[in-house]
Structure 1
Amino acid sequence: MKPLLRHRIDATFAHYDVDGNGVIELADFYALANRLLKAFGEPASSERGRELVEAYDGFWDTLVEHCDADRDGLISPREYQEAMVVAFADGGAFDVVFPEVVASLLAIADTNGDGRVDAAEFGVLLKARGLSEAECGLAFTHLDTDGDGAVSVREYVAAVKDYYTNSSQDTPGSWLYPASLQPA
């Protein structure tokens, strides 16, 4: 695996390992969902809140299916590294489940209800994931590939797939987590 792709996978592992205990587990996914709900002021009991949590449950199930080689309910860094490029490059279940997760994320992010996720709304989403204001602006500019002033489900899903499969630093996926562009 090329060093940049390995670094990107390691960076997203760290993002998913919310409690920093060295493994990804279901509690981490609930913590991520709760962090996003809190950032947008959306109660978990609302329809959109429930949809986000259900989407994260589905994504967790898919992640475990593809990454948890020893079936212990925990995903180690090695398991994650070995599975992610194949899972995104080959598609399969990720091509079905991941767009659902993204659709739920963007529905929560669409705080003004206009059916679009503009730069300000997308910034709240990325700040909840730990990006700076400047990184949010850069990411939005590069992910809005059609230049319509919004990030769509299609654009976001394409950027994530690009992030995991393309070792170039000049593609939209390179800006999904701008701080992770260069290996440490």
Structure 2
Amino acid sequence: MVLALGEGVPGAWALLLPRGFYAAFPLPGHPWVALFPPYNEHLLRDFGAAVLGLGVVLGWAACVPRPWLVRAAAAGLLAFSAPHLLFHSAHFGRSSGAEVFAQAVSLVLPCVLAGIALAATVTRGGRTPPPADGRTTALRTGLHTVIHTPRQRQDSRPETPRTPRTPEIRQNPTEREFTMSPTVQEERLQRRFELWDRDGDGRIDRGDWEHEARRILASFDESPTSDKGQALLEAYLGMWNYLAGQAQLGPNGSLDRQKFQDLADRQILARGRTGFDEVVRPTIASILDLCDKDGDGQVSPKEFKLWIKSTGADESTADTAFRAIDADNDGQLSVEELVQAVHKYHTGELDVALL
């Protein structure tokens, strides 16, 4: 937001009061623009409009920090600031030493901040590796919920078939432990795999994920080229790119069912809410935007039916599912509640398939 104001305020000044901007920017008695005469009203108004527009985009990115929007805003700022810096590094007019320093700071700072913003949204770094024993601990409302996933067997001996276990819940006043049968997790990952495997060949690739994202957009009558459409495609393919990167797949690589389940278990489920927040949340937020017809940033019961419809589920189950997900009972679903619901579905605590 500082960058937005830093560009937007001077831009508005130059657009609305070009003569005053020329004579008094940045401070009365310390004009920087007037050091480069002559005054040109047309040029200053055009400059002001362009810089004001850049400030609006920066402000938008600050308020709605989607990675693609932040990248676009930062790239635009860098495209403006870098040539500006290069020119003034050799042309400071008749400025004093203190003013030269102030100008240098004002020119370098936007370039540095734009570069940081670009790097932060383009690169993926600092991922926390999953715990070695596949155990995830989440703290929620004073209760510790521990989800235990048994170690994978290291030998190749066939296991004796076992009757699927039901979840075992042990609870005391301060701690609640939930031990989940691995068959629930595997079965739900298998459903997800089958949904994405549109040609039924037992493998999924980037095209399958893109097809599913476009199917969701079609269910909302949303164009893939709209802002919301682009956001969903980017988020959905971001999940694929993450898993493909972990599997070290090439551009045309694909995953079979077992590899997909292993990756999803290790890189998302075993990391608990951290994994879901990092990998799945952007997609959930994008689908929420599609549902959010009134623009309040939340999903109402009526809007939630659109989500249920997009999954192909029975719309008559929407009200029951909504109540199960609405943790604070405020009649609205937030991104946080929806991420929690998807997490609970895949750990067997909730039977509402949203994603």
Cα pair 1:62 1:93 within 8 Å, conserved: no
Give the structure with the higher percent helix: 1
Gaps of 5+ in 1: 179-184
What secondary structure, in the 3-state scheme, does the structure 1 residue paired with 2:204 have? Answer: coil
The 5 A counterparts of 1:1-184 are: 2-66=182-246, 68=247, 73-87=253-267, 88-90=269-271, 94-164=276-346, 166-167=347-348, 171=349, 174-177=350-353
Distance 1:121 1:17 in 2: 28
Cα pair 1:69 1:79 within 8 Å, conserved: no
Cα pair 2:276 2:339 within 8 Å, conserved: no
Give the structure with the higher percent strand: 2
Residues 55-98 of structure 1, C-alpha deviation per residue, up to 9 Å, x if partnerless? 112111012234x4766621211112222222222256653232
**TM-score of the pair, normalised by structure 1:** 0.80
Aligned residues: 171
**TM-score of the pair, normalised by structure 2:** 0.44
Of the two, which has the highest radius of gyration? 2
* Deviates most, 76-85 or 94-103: 94-103
Cα pair 1:116 1:150 within 8 Å, conserved: yes
**Which amino acid in structure 2 is aligned with residue 89 of structure 1?**
A
Quote the sequence identity (%).
32
Kindly report the root-mean-square deviation, in angstroms, between the aligned alpha carbons of the 2 structures. 2.3
Counterpart for residue 182 of structure 1: none
Cα pair 2:220 2:310 within 8 Å, conserved: no
Cα pair 2:228 2:290 within 8 Å, conserved: yes
Gaps of 5+ in 2: 1-180
Distance 2:195 2:352 in 1: 12
